[in-house]
Amino acid sequence: FRFKDSLAEELQSADLVISHAGAGSCLETLEKGKPLIVVINDKLMDNHQLELARQLHRDGYVLYCNCSTLVETLQSMNLSALKPFPPGQPEKFASFLDKVFGLQ
């Protein structure tokens, strides 16, 4: 599909997610505890998707590849080596903002 308001239902039933390296897509998938293969678009200028995919891979949360290496990645993947993504802690950010703006 090209666009949906929410992928929550699909993510819930997925055994594996293959996605582009958009921050929202990556974080939503990882927060649901689903294994993720990130396919980067290596034709983008100033490729922030590549930076995000590399860092998430270095941290052990995702596998990443480009379109030409996707089949190879699927054939050689070891999903059990991926680490669970830690839950978010929005209260820490809220506390930081309170301190910055003198509300605490």
Percent of the chain whose predicted confidence (pLDDT) is above 90: 60
Q: Specify which of 6-10, 30-34, 87-91 reaches the highest per-range mean pLDDT.
A: 30-34
**In this predicted structure, what is the pLDDT of residue 45?**
63
Q: Where are the alpha helices (DSSP H) in the chain?
A: 8-13, 23-31, 48-58, 70-76, 90-100
Q: What is the CATH number of the domain that holds 70?
A: 3.40.50.2000
- Into how many domains does the chain fold? 1
Mean per-residue pLDDT over the chain, rounded:
91
3-class DSSP assignment, residue 63: strand
| pLDDT average, residue stretch 35-47 | 84
Structural domain span for residue 48: 7-101
Report how far apart, in Å, the C-alpha atoms of 71 and of each of 17, 39, 65 are: 14, 11, 9
Find residue 90's DSSP bridge partners.
none
| pLDDT average, residue stretch 74-86 | 96
**In this predicted structure, what is the pLDDT of residue 52?**
92
Provide the residue type at 23 as one letter: A
Is residue 39 assigned to a domain? yes
Is residue 2 assigned to a domain? no
| pLDDT average, residue stretch 8-33 | 93
Tell me the backbone φ, ψ of residue 64, rounded to 5 degrees.
-140, 155
**In this predicted structure, what is the pLDDT of residue 16?**
97
HSE-CB of 57 using CA atoms within 13 angstroms: 16
Contact between 36 and 17 (Cβ < 8 Å): yes
Rounded distance, CA 72 to CA 68, Å? 8
**In this predicted structure, what is the pLDDT of residue 79?**
96
Q: Which of 40-54, 60-74, 81-95 has the lowest mean pLDDT?
A: 40-54
Is residue 1 assigned to a domain? no
